[in-house]
Amino acid sequence: MSLVLPTAAPAPRPFLGVARSVIGRFWRERLDVRGAQATMAIVQRHGVPELLARVLAGRGVGIDEVEAWLDPTIKRLLPDPDTLTDMEPCVARLADAVVTGEQVAVFGDYDVDGATSTALLVEVLRAGGLDPAFHIPDRIFEGYGPNIPAIEALAANGATLLVTVDCGTASFEPFARAHEIGLDVVVIDHHQTGEELPQVAALVNPNRADDLSGLGHLCAVGLVFVVAVGLVRELRRRGWWNPSRPEPDLLAALDMVALGTVADVVPLIGLNRAYVTKGLIQLRKRQRPGLTALMDAARLSGPPKAWHLGFLLGPRINAGGRIGDAALGARLLLCQDPIEAAALAVELDRLNAERQQVERAIVAQAEAEADAALGLSGEGAVILSSGQGWHPGVVGLVAARLKEKFGRPAFAIAFTGTTGAGSARSIPGVDVGRAVRGAVERGLLVKGGGHAMAAGLTIERERLGDLRAYLEEVLSSAVDVARAVDELAIDGALSAGGATPELIEMVERAGPYGAGNPQPVFAFPAHRIVFAETGSADQVRVRLRGSDGATLNAVAFRAANAPLGQALLDARGRQMHVAGTLDIDSWQGRSQASLRISDVADPDQA
* Per-residue pLDDT at 3: 44
CATH of the domain at 573: 2.40.50.140
In the three-class reduction of DSSP (H, G, I as helix; E, B as strand; rest coil), residue 521 is classed as: coil
Characterize 460-485 residue by residue with b for buried, 16 or more Cβ atoms within 10 angstroms of its Cβ, and e for exposed: beebbebbbebbeebbeebbeebeee
Is residue 227 located within the same domain as residue 90?
A: yes
Q: Which amino acid is at 575?
A: Q
Residues 44 and 89 grouped into a single domain: no
Sign of CA dihedral 592, 597, 602, 606: negative
Give the end of a domain, one of 248, 283, 318. 283
Verify that 133 and 212 share a domain, yes or no.
yes
Q: What angle do CA 226, 120, 175 make, to 5 degrees?
A: 80
Residue 512: its pLDDT value, please?
94
* Domain CATH code at residue 379: 3.10.310.30
Domain finish residue from 457, 483, 509: 483
Q: Angle 272-274-280 (CA atoms, 0-180°, nearest 5)?
A: 100
For residue range 74-117, what is the model confidence (pLDDT) as tens digits?
999 999 999 999 999 999 999 999 999 999 999 999 999 999 99
Both 448 and 583 in one domain: the answer is no
As a whole number of angstroms, the distance between CA 212 and CA 452 comes to 19
The helix (H) or strand (E) run that includes residue 41 is: helix 33-46
Assess whether the previous peptide bond of 512 is cis (omega < 30° from 0). Answer: yes
Quickly count: other Cβ atoms within 10 Å of residue 316's Cβ. Answer: 25
| Residues 60 and 106 both lie in one domain | no
514 has which bridge partners?
A: 517
Query: Which stretches of the chain drop beneath a pLDDT of 70?
Result: 1-11, 375-378, 588, 606
| Closest to 373 (Cα-Cα) out of 363, 383, 361 | 383
Domain boundary among the residues 462, 483, 504 is at: 483
- Residues 519 and 467 occupy one common structural domain: no
Q: Is residue 508 part of a domain?
A: yes
542 Cβ contact list (under 8 Å, min separation 6): 529, 531, 532, 553, 554, 555, 556, 568, 578, 597
For residues 545 and 440, state if they share a domain. no
Q: Which domain holds residue 50?
A: 31-67
For the segment 572-603, what is each residue's pLDDT rounded down to a tens digit? 999 999 999 999 987 767 889 999 999 999 99
Number of domains in the chain: 4
Contact of 185 with 200, CB cutoff 8 Å: yes
Task: Concatenate the DSSP letters of all residues of 122-136 into one string.
Answer: HHHHHHTT---EEE-
d(CA 209, CA 85): 10
Choose among 302, 320, 304: nearest CA to 258: 304
Does residue 347 lie in a domain region? no
Is residue 10 one of the residues assigned to a domain? no
In a domain, 217, yes or no: yes
Q: Would you state the pLDDT for residue 6?
A: 47
Query: 520 and 596 in one domain?
Result: yes
What is the model's pLDDT at position 606? 67
Quick one: pLDDT at residue 428? 85
Those residues whose C-beta lies under 8 Å from the C-beta of residue 354, and which sit 6 or more positions away, are 319, 323
Contact indicator for 421, 395 with CB cutoff of 8 Å = yes
| Claim to verify: residue 183 and residue 277 sit in the same structural domain | yes
103, 241: one domain: yes
Same structural domain for residues 411 and 553?
no
270 and 403 part of one domain: no
